Each structure stands twice: as structure tokens, then as C-alpha cells.
Structure 1
């Protein structure tokens, strides 16, 4: 079995991030992220999922696990801060191995936006470009199709250390 040094994705912080040194109060990264999200007016995770027409986590799903009672106590099972929602979604939809629907979509949109705005990227130079390589589903072309085309389904290899 390949060695994977990363933790599963979930809404829990590792110990050093619970009390950050040399920062003004609050020193918890979780509290700081929650306050920052509220101060800049980020929508709730459920609102983003609704807007994107993606499957929302249920109240029961959000209320699961050791964090569930605290989440429900603060109404996160109804409207979750985006930061918490993305981590909880990864834990539930991605079994801690990958982002869920909302987190994946946000990440993908950021990368596409960066490519579109980079004046030297292929998308900026040729904005009407469409891939013509073979795809599993005609008219689409996914990263899986690209990896199959180049013959490298596991581009990062099997880490063993």
C-alpha cells in the first residue's frame, strides 16, 4: 500500500493550528477563518451549493461526528460558514480523500480564472480553443482523458517513503 503522509480532509484542526503563536486574539485558526468569512460576507456553503445547483449536505450529515453537535448548536446544520462546509463536505462526499462538489467547483473555477487572466496562458491567447483529443464522452474532455492520452494514470507516482 502506498504511503500517504497527509491527513484525511475533515473539519478538524491539527493541534498547532488550534492556538497559533504570536498572533493577536483569537489565536485559533478556526475562529479566525470563521470571523474573516463573516466579515467579508462570504455566503454559506448551502447557499453556494444551491446557486451552483449541486447536491447540498443534509442537516443530518452536517450534524454527524464529534463536531456535529457543536455545528448544530451554532446553526451550521442550516447555514454553514463556507470554510467549515467545504471541509465537512470533503469528509462526507469525498470520504476525506478528496474535496466534495462545492469545494471542487471552487478550486476548478479558481484555476480556470487564473488561466484566463494570465496573458501568457494558452486560454488567454486562444480563448475559443477546444480540445480535440479523444475523450471517453464525445464533446467533453476531462483531466482523466488527458492522463489516459499521455499514458500516465498516476502522474505523481506511488510514494513509498
Structure 2
């Protein structure tokens, strides 16, 4: 919402983008809508007319221990909202916030969960040096030993993905198990799920028999209408309340 920053800044002047007390737009503009063509491959679902050039496809960045610059300076409005003082600069760093929160709620460390799950732990070299990510240089022997023995869970999961030799940048080990268990538990706890009816198969139309993808679901939900999957078209956005498309 607009309480996290100014959503009505001009196209050239971004000086007040980080100021939650400026601007009067409190909700996201209605033309900040999803262009589904950029998120899912409709070509694989038989709709090559909905496929966008590779350079326009919104692919996820690899998971590693590096942060893009905006995440080192989060908007002031993500803390207290309007009318509140700005937090100290360090508190606006996502890495600091994640590590501090983990300590506050006493999360288990990466090595602890690896042992609990029976997963081969990262080596000392993998934790400290990684593979093209953050290099933890300048540590004393005591600090290095402490880090290796009690690696914060968030950092550990990022490092696992970074050093994933088979699929670099993808979750694996502890991180992959945690995410999988969250989804599995949600399905398992539902009264209506494939766990309750293991013989169930999708009956909605799909491009390939025996396969039902997110693109198939979106085509069905939006009645195969290209204008509904991409309501803004490919032209420039309106000037008022305009902004980047997802």
C-alpha cells in the first residue's frame, strides 16, 4: 500500500519514493496488474500467440547469498508507516532484519536442522567461501568456528542453493526440505486434497493428455481470452498512476 512509500511519484523524479508521508495514493494503482504471459510459458500449452520473447519473460533470479541493492535499503514505510521516524540505516537492511529475527525467535541453525533431517551438512569451506556469493573474509579463528558450528538458518539455506552443483541457484538440502514440507503439510491438513483422494486426476481441459499445468489452469480461468491474460496490452502504460508491470 501507499503507507510503504509513495506510489504516485512522477516518471522522472523519484526523490520522494522512499517517503511514506508524501503522496496521497494509499492503494496500488489498478493498472499495476499481472501480465500472465510474462510469468508462465503459454507456448508449452499450445498458445504460441501468447508467448513473449525470452528477454521479456520474468524469470526468477538464482538463489544465493548476494542481495540486490534495494534489499539493503528497504523503504521506510515497511517499518512504522506514516508519521513515524525513519529507522536506523542498518535496520533497513534485509539481511540484518532476517538474522535479527532468527535470533529473537531462537530459530534452529542450519547445521542443527541438517542433523535433525539426516541431510549431509555443508562443509566448512562451502559455508565460508561459497560459490560466487558472499565471501566471509576477515574472520578470526573463533568467529569462523562459531559461524560453521552455528550457521544462521537463512544464510545456510541460501548457501546450500549457491553451492548446489547439480542445479546451481535452486533450493536443496535443508531449504528444499523445509519448503516441500510446508506445502505437503498444507495439502495433508486439508479435508479436500489429493492426499485424501489419491486416485483423483484433473478433469479440466489441458493441452497435453495426462498433464495439467498452471498455464492450462489460467487459460481455463480466463476463458482462453488473450485480452484478459494481458489486460494492458503491449503499449505504454497510462501516465497517471503508471508503473512497472510485473
TM-score by length of 2: 0.48
The residue correspondences of 1:80-119 to structure 2 (distance < 5 A) are 80-93=151-164, 94-96=167-169, 98-119=170-191
For residues 98-135 of structure 1, the C-alpha deviation after alignment (integer angstroms, 9 at most, x for no partner) is 10111110011000111122233243xx2xx65699xx
Tell me which structure has the larger Cα radius of gyration. 2
Whether the 8 Å CA contact 2:119–2:174 is kept in 1: the answer is: yes
Match of 2:96 in 1: 31
* Paired residues, number: 137
The residue correspondences of 1:58-77 to structure 2 (distance < 5 A) are 58-64=123-129, 65=132, 67-70=134-137, 74=143, 75-77=146-148
For residues 60-109 of structure 1, the C-alpha deviation after alignment (integer angstroms, 9 at most, x for no partner) is 1111155232595553233211000000000002411x101111100110
Distance (Å, rounded) in 2 between the aligned partners of 1:99 and 1:150: 27
Runs of 5+ consecutive residues of structure 1 not aligned to the other structure: 134-147, 157-161
Larger fraction in helix: 1
Instruction: After superposing the two structures, state which structure 1 stretch, 66-75 or 23-32, moved more.
Output: 66-75
Distance (Å, rounded) in 2 between the aligned partners of 1:149 and 1:107: 29
- CA RMSD in angstroms comes to 3.1
Runs of 5+ consecutive residues of structure 2 not aligned to the other structure: 1-53, 80-86, 202-207, 216-246
The answer as to 2:128 corresponding to 1:55 is no
Distance (Å, rounded) in 1 between the aligned partners of 2:139 and 2:126: 11
Whether the 8 Å CA contact 2:109–2:153 is kept in 1: the answer is: yes
Match of 1:150 in 2: 210
